[in-house]
Amino acid sequence: MRRPTSPKPQLVEVTDHERKGCKGKFGRFGGKFVPETLISCLSNLEAEFNLVLHDAQFQVALATALRDYVGRETPLYFAERLTNHYKKNNNGEGPEIYLKREDLNHGGAHKINNAIAQAMIAKRLGRKYVVAATGAGQHGVATAAACAKLSLQCTIFMGTKDMEKQSSNLVLMKLLGAESSYYLTGTVVGPHPCPSMVREFQSVIGKETRRQAMEKWGGKPDVLVACVGSGSNALGLFHEFIKEKDVRLIGVEAGGFGLESDKHSATLAKGDVGVYHGTMSYLLQDEEGQIISPHSVGVGLEYPAVGPELSFLKDTGRAEYYSVTDKEALDACQLLCRLEGIIPSLEASHALAFLNKLCPTLPTGTKVVVNCSGRGDKDAEMILNHKYYPMAKQFPASQNL
């Protein structure tokens, strides 16, 4: 369903009512575009979600699981060599770069934050079977792990092309017992209450970042940067700071082969408003409203739409969105490997790649936090076999930058 292209965004006041999403609406975005037969199921899920938000016993159990099983809190790591690299290229001037290390979570990504919480809801509802869909496999691994822990049967759906690209995650899912039921959504899309649930359970990222920033330098971050596919890791970091306009929110989309190539996943840059997977948001579509297949070297960013709240943040001007190409993401991944000994996922590498454009524009002392949303061992074969790999030879491991 196609909608008119939006006017040029202007910064407007974001109220608590709009920010939190009244009945799943963020301005004109969100909602429940589903058959009538599903409304009661979604209403029941919404009621249970609202209950667990105020259930002390559930919250204690979730906090314990996040600490002892997921491994939270994750570090806010000062990337000193990466910081010095960008300062060296800018006459000694530039920001301090910190990484929110979501790659250190159990399962290797931020996805487990939401998966364990929703699996607990499924068990609370008396469900014995959980179903999930995954692209890069990180949500599939997280769901399979959470279900194994809670003794729930699990079925994961994954496209054949994604299975070929992310074979290591497929093996992990099988090992964890992923073979109905409760549908465990992994990102901030779909009909209400799905986007709000995932956003809520991922918001631990931003809450920790605020506390850790206060401990490290006695203030807030100045700039937050996250990759944007459909939006779970970005909203997880941004949500805590949306009301604070002195904190810049920067989302980085997958530019693929370039925005004019039609081989990209830059929904917010090139998409129009429409309805997809039960919600209204920006999406990639042709003149007849048919979905255009997305592309990205980061498989987890290959989605033709984006969450309704991120769409709202675009229209209000509260968040900024940019894109980087496949090559830029691969170069950024290799750079972090060589300078910090950290292997980021190709999804997170899109956020890291934008530093090349961002850092020269920022004064010395600016605190930048990049969400390193997942680890890149799943992408290692693709990185090593890629024609851009020789770039890594420019930075021997022993080089002192």
Q: For 252-275, what is each residue's pLDDT tens digit?
A: 999 999 999 989 999 999 999 999
Is the pLDDT at 86 greater than 70? The verdict is yes
Residue 380 confidence (pLDDT): 84
Dihedral class, residue 71 (left if φ above 0, else alpha if ψ from -120 to 50, else beta): left
Residue 62 confidence (pLDDT): 98
Determine the Cα–Cα distance for residues 171 and 235; give it in Å rounded to an integer.
29
Residue 395 confidence (pLDDT): 41
Is the pLDDT at 117 greater than 60? The verdict is yes
Q: Between 213 and 167, name the one with better pLDDT.
A: 213
Residue pair 42/32 in contact (Cβ under 8 Å)? The answer is yes
Is the pLDDT at 401 greater than 70? The verdict is no
Residue pair 351/364 in contact (Cβ under 8 Å)? The answer is no
Q: What is the 3-state secondary structure (H, E, C) of the chain?
A: CECCCCCCCCCCCCCHHHHHCECCEECCEECCCCCHHHHHHHHHHHHHHHHHHCCHHHHHHHHHHHHHHHCCCCCEEECHHHHHHHHHCCCCCCCEEEEEEHHHCCCCECHHHHHHHHHHHHHHCCCCEEEEEECCCHHHHHHHHHHHHCCCEEEEEECHHHHHHCHHHHHHHHHCCECCCEECCCCCCCCCCHHHHHHHHHCHHHHHHHHHHHHHHCCCCCEEEEECCCCHHHHHHHHHHCCCCCCEEEEEEEEECCCCCCCCCCHHHHCEEEEECCEEEEECECCCCCECCCCCCCHHHCCCECCHHHHHHHHHCCEEEEEEEHHHHHHHHHHHHHHHCCCECHHHHHHHHCHHHHHHHCCCCCEEEEEECEECHHHHHHHHHCCCHHHHHHCCCCCCC
The pTM of the full predicted model, rounded to 2 decimals, is 0.87
Determine the Cα–Cα distance for residues 124 and 53; give it in Å rounded to an integer.
13
Average pLDDT over every residue of 155-183: 54
Residue pair 298/227 in contact (Cβ under 8 Å)? The answer is yes
The strands making up 248-256's β-sheet, listed across from edge to edge, are: 76-78, 96-101, 367-372, 223-227, 248-256, 319-325
CA 175 to chain centre: 25
**What's the mean per-residue pLDDT of the chain?**
88
Residue 386 confidence (pLDDT): 67
- Cα distances (angstroms) measured from residue 231 to each of 28, 194, 325, 348: 18, 13, 18, 12
Residue with token string 């203030």: 219
pLDDT tens per residue across span 287-341:
999 999 999 999 899 999 999 999 999 999 999 999 999 999 999 999 999 999 9
Residue 157 confidence (pLDDT): 86
Kindly give the pairing relationship between strand 279-283 and strand 272-276: antiparallel
Average pLDDT over every residue of 361-370: 97
Residue pair 93/82 in contact (Cβ under 8 Å)? The answer is no
Residue 133 confidence (pLDDT): 87
Number of neighbouring beta carbons within 10 Å of residue 361: 10
pLDDT tens per residue across span 34-77:
999 999 999 999 999 999 999 999 999 999 999 999 999 999 99
Q: Between 391 and 73, name the one with better pLDDT.
A: 73
Residue 292 confidence (pLDDT): 95
For 351, residues 6+ apart whose C-beta sits below 8 A from its C-beta are 225, 226, 227, 252, 370, 371, 372, 373
Tell me how many degrees the CA angle 260-261-267 measures, rounded to the nearest 5: 70
Share of the chain above pLDDT 90, in %: 78
Is the pLDDT at 164 greater than 70? The verdict is no
Is the pLDDT at 167 greater than 50? The verdict is no
Residue 22 confidence (pLDDT): 61
The two structure tokens encoding residue 355: 């530093």
Residue pair 369/98 in contact (Cβ under 8 Å)? The answer is yes
Residue 138 pLDDT grade (very low, low, confident, very high; cuts 50, 70, 90): confident
Residue with token string 């890149």: 376
pLDDT tens per residue across span 240-255:
999 999 999 999 999 9
Q: What is the CA radius of gyration of the chain?
A: 20
Is the pLDDT at 191 greater than 50? The verdict is yes
Residue 383 confidence (pLDDT): 79
Average pLDDT over every residue of 146-157: 94
